[in-house]
Amino acid sequence: MLRLGICIAVFVTAMNLFAQKIDRSKPPQTAPLNSFRLPPVFETTLENGLRVVLVEDRRFPLVTLRAGFLAGSKFDPEQLPGLSEATGALLTQGTKMRTARQIAEELATIGGSLSASSGPDTLILHGSALAEHTATLVDLLADVILNANFPESEVQIWKNRRKQELIAERSDAAFWAEEKLATAVFGRHPYSRLNPTLESIDSLNRESLVTFRDHYVAPNNAVLILLGALPAPEETFKLLREQLGGWEKKELPSPPAVSFPDPVRKLILVDRPGSVQADIRVGRLAVPRTSPDYFPLLVANTILGGGASSRMFMKIREEKGYAYDAHSVLQPRRDAGLFAAVTQVRNEVVQPAIEAVQMEMEQLGKEDVPAGELGDVKNYLSGTFVMSLETQNGLATQLSTMELMGLPADYLEKYTQRVRAVSPDQIREVSRKYVAPERASIIVVGDASKIAKPLEKFGKFSVEKAE
């Protein structure tokens, strides 16, 4: 009994001392986050102009690749929007040597995948396989790049499917809000064209796909990233020269002129009869990815609408109860960018909701962000970025973005330093330049018979139809 009593006394004393050391009125301090360090990297440029980046990662018996081209939707002919998207989707659907089924079966055999996606600036092939099948993965990549023949049957299947997808997308208010905002912000620049049209899908044919591929899928317009448990660098470079060394350099077409309209106040109501809520976008022209204003604007965007603790979310959803979702987006591209505040509200609160959005946007340019709020956002951005690089897929995506957007070689390793260096003064400055709503476009998609009157408070507006 005496021993038990002593043990209990010691335990109680220890717990009291432990409790005294913890101040539960304050959140725990975030430990310093180490900067990211790239694994060993080996680079070369083949004689045909193809840039190759090899990155060693032997934690898993896997290999991941990215083959990226400056061949995104901004290179689509004006009369044929969606051509880059279609080219990417159909590159892997048949070659002179393999049918789409044979490609799929061979990928399954090596535990692999190979597909392509198109964005505003880039067309990117994504692939992976078990490391022991690296040579087979590279062989399939080379076949797709060099020999894709866009079989008529596969083209027709894609056209039918994409038309049905587009019809479904056009029934969504967010589709029209995004389309109209892009047109208002980017003007006649190809960044304003986000999607194909039913007419452009009908007009697309095998010849247009081949022409686009021949113009832009070129070694001197590409970067190839291989990451994982690779063979020795010289062995891997030898494999790539054998498979892709005969790929001929091409004379590339000139990119579209970098010309955008000055930001001006616009108000557009997109009439969608029967809508019980309104989709709201308040946005304006922002920065390209290489701009020195990018990191301050990234931090400002996260403070304003970057998550469940952001100002827009807390004000518009939690305090006012106007909407289920309220957030902001920053979309930097190679030539420019888009910043927008986004929410969807019931018709009865359209006016106060827009006022609340604009107030939060204005506030960022007027007052310093409190140190605690700024520190939390910097920790969040730094932590999520470093976590995103833990997987091969995440690192390969960041490396391809770095290469194709023209970012400096130390971009990944200095990312957290640049985030942490952002000051309250910089946030106020970029917010006045790119966030303040007095020169923003306001797009509202909803039932004009229900929401036109409240919108009059914000000035003259044009009315367009959601077709």
Q: What angle do CA 102, 108, 112 make, to 5 degrees?
A: 115
The whole-angstrom distance between residue 288's C-alpha and the CA centroid of its chain comes to 13
Could you give the strand order of the β-sheet that contains 41-45, starting from the edge strand earlier in sequence? 41-45, 51-56, 222-228, 62-69, 123-130, 113-118
Mean pLDDT of 65-75: 98
The region, left, alpha or beta by phi > 0 then psi within -120 to 50, assigned to residue 94 is left
Residue 388, Cβ density class (10 Å: 0-12 exposed, 13-18 middle, ≥19 buried): middle
Q: Which residues contact 177 (CB under 8 A, 6 or more apart)?
A: 270, 279, 280, 281, 342, 443, 444, 445
Task: Give 312-321 pLDDT, tens digit per residue.
Answer: 999 999 999 9
Alpha carbon distance 129, 120 (integer Å): 27
- Collapsing DSSP to helix, strand or coil, 34 comes out as coil
Task: Give me the residues paired with residue 48 across strands.
Answer: none
In the chain the first and final C-alpha atoms are separated, in Å, by: 85
Q: What share of the chain is helix, strand, coil (3-state, %, to 5)?
A: 50, 20, 35
* pLDDT band for position 35 (cuts 50, 70, 90): low
Delimit the domains of the chain by residue range: 41-244, 266-465
Report pLDDT for 2: 43
Alpha carbon distance 43, 46 (integer Å): 10
Task: Give 151-201 pLDDT, tens digit per residue.
Answer: 999 999 999 999 999 999 999 999 999 999 999 999 999 999 999 999 999
Mean pLDDT of 329-354: 97
Report CA dihedral (400, 403, 404, 405) to the nearest 10 degrees. 110
Contact of 128 with 112, CB cutoff 8 Å? yes
Q: What is the mean pLDDT of the chain?
A: 93
Report pLDDT for 33: 61
Mean pLDDT of 234-256: 96
One-letter amino acid of 99: T
Mean pLDDT of 364-379: 96
Mean pLDDT of 89-106: 97
pTM of the full structure: 0.91
Alpha carbon distance 427, 275 (integer Å): 37
Report pLDDT for 24: 63
- Collapsing DSSP to helix, strand or coil, 191 comes out as helix
* pLDDT band for position 37 (cuts 50, 70, 90): confident
- Collapsing DSSP to helix, strand or coil, 167 comes out as helix
* pLDDT band for position 232 (cuts 50, 70, 90): very high
* pLDDT band for position 10 (cuts 50, 70, 90): very low
- The pair phi, psi for residue 324, each rounded to 5°, is -80, -35
B/e letters for 344-379, b = 16+ CB within 10 Å, e = fewer, are: bbeeebbbebbebbbebbbbbbeeebeeeebebbbb
Task: Give 393-438 pLDDT, tens digit per residue.
Answer: 999 999 999 999 999 999 999 999 999 999 999 999 999 999 999 9
pLDDT of 68 > 90? The answer is yes
Task: Give 440-457 pLDDT, tens digit per residue.
Answer: 999 999 999 999 999 999
Contact of 442 with 354, CB cutoff 8 Å? yes
Q: Do domains 41-244 and 266-465 have the same CATH topology?
A: yes
Q: Name the nearest CA neighbour of 189 among 281, 262, 253.
A: 262
The region, left, alpha or beta by phi > 0 then psi within -120 to 50, assigned to residue 162 is alpha
| Among 34-43, 97-106, 404-413, the least confident range | 34-43
Contact of 76 with 190, CB cutoff 8 Å? yes
Q: Name the nearest CA neighbour of 212 among 81, 335, 333.
A: 81
- The CATH label, of 3.30.830.10, 3.40.50.720, 3.30.499.10, 1.10.1740.10, for the domain at 41-244 is 3.30.830.10
User: 275 or 6: which carries more pLDDT confidence?
Assistant: 275
- The pair phi, psi for residue 239, each rounded to 5°, is -60, -45
Report pLDDT for 38: 85
Fold of the domain built from segment(s) 266-465:
Cytochrome Bc1 Complex; Chain A, domain 1 (3.30.830)
| Token pair in block for residue 296 | 């301050």
- The pair phi, psi for residue 289, each rounded to 5°, is -65, -25
